Structure 1
Amino acid sequence: MATDEASARIDSWIWAVRLIKTRSAAGAACRAGHVKLNGAAAKPAQHVKPGDDVRVRIEGRERIVKVLRPIAKRVGAPVAETCYEDHSPPPPPRAERPAGVAVRERGAGRPTKRDRRDLEKLKDGYRPYF
């Protein structure tokens, strides 16, 4: 593809317009098949140009955007919003999102007596152990 100023690599573009947090995550998403350019799976080095449709699947949600302006450098959020037209469905309401699950660090071992007491306080309210 052409490397003129009217196009940009898709991995750097989805990072630059803040659809994905890091450039390496953008490349990984492309390689994993989570990014589609005009309906076909996109490789990280493919170029986007104005008018292209980009679909990015992140965190269980699909973002559908139309490229208005290709950029390669990361910009602020207000400027980034001018580079694409968002056609994504609205995110699900907060009530429908799954609640986070408490996870202990791997290798932390069994909970201590203090940890168990703290858990009991959270579940049943305070009960003294005298």
Structure 2
Amino acid sequence: MRIDKYLWCTRYFKTRNIATNTCKKGHVKINGQVAKPGREVFPMDEIRVRKNQIDYKLNVLAIPDSRVGAKLVDIYRKDTTPASAFEHNELLNYSKDYYRKKGTGRPTKKDRREIDDYLETPENKPKDDATASKE
């Protein structure tokens, strides 16, 4: 079975076209070699797929006849993706939440004043000419 069809059948991609484009971009490797969409997959092959900034590692157990239900996917592949890959993705999500929410636009006048007040700490405030001459 072709690698793009296998990834679609085992529900890693929603459409076969997306799986094909992912293979063309070089995000799919079979046994350490970059795979084109037409590359054949056999049982006991190791597949690495880069999807949503996560590197998935799969071992092919069997070849399905057609697209399978979500409950039956584990019959045809074994997912050996390390948990650290998912933890890294969670950290990326937390770092994105630190910044402004998407779609809120540029800072308002109130936001700018709060930023200015925060940046002007007592040690960073500029000295007035009158106070500077007295010292």
- Could you tell me the TM-score, scaled by structure 1's length? 0.68
Computing the radius of gyration over CA atoms, which structure comes out larger, 1 or 2?
Answer: 2
Matched, 1:96 2:91: yes
SS of equivalent residue, structure 2 residue 78: strand
Q: 1:61 to 1:83 in 2, by over 3 A?
A: same
The equivalent residue for 1:41 is: 34
Query: In structure 1, what residue type is equivalent to 2:72?
Result: V
Aligned counterparts of 1:95 and 1:54: Cα–Cα separation in 2 = 23
Which of 37, 41, 48 aligns to 1:55? It is 48
Aligned counterparts of 2:31 and 2:77: Cα–Cα separation in 1 = 14
Aligned counterparts of 2:20 and 2:37: Cα–Cα separation in 1 = 5
Matched, 1:75 2:71: no
Aligned counterparts of 1:72 and 1:47: Cα–Cα separation in 2 = 14
Equivalences, count: 101
SS of equivalent residue, structure 2 residue 87: coil
Alignment of 1:1-130 (within 5 A): 8-90=1-83, 91-92=86-87, 96-98=91-93, 99=96, 101-103=101-103
Aligned counterparts of 1:49 and 1:56: Cα–Cα separation in 2 = 16
Query: In structure 2, what residue type is equivalent to 1:45?
Result: G
- Could you tell me the TM-score, scaled by structure 2's length? 0.66
Verify the 8 A CA contact 2:8 2:15 in the aligned structure 1: yes
* Identical counterparts, % of pairs: 33
When the two chains are superposed, the root-mean-square deviation of aligned CA atoms in Å is 2.4
Aligned counterparts of 2:72 and 2:59: Cα–Cα separation in 1 = 15
More divergent stretch after superposition (8-17 vs 88-97): 88-97
Aligned counterparts of 1:96 and 1:22: Cα–Cα separation in 2 = 28
Q: 1:81 to 1:103 in 2, by over 3 A?
A: farther
Q: 1:28 to 1:72 in 2, by over 3 A?
A: farther
Q: Which runs of 5+ in 2 are unaligned?
A: 112-135
Verify the 8 A CA contact 1:10 1:44 in the aligned structure 2: yes
Aligned counterparts of 1:39 and 1:24: Cα–Cα separation in 2 = 23
Q: 1:70 to 1:40 in 2, by over 3 A?
A: same
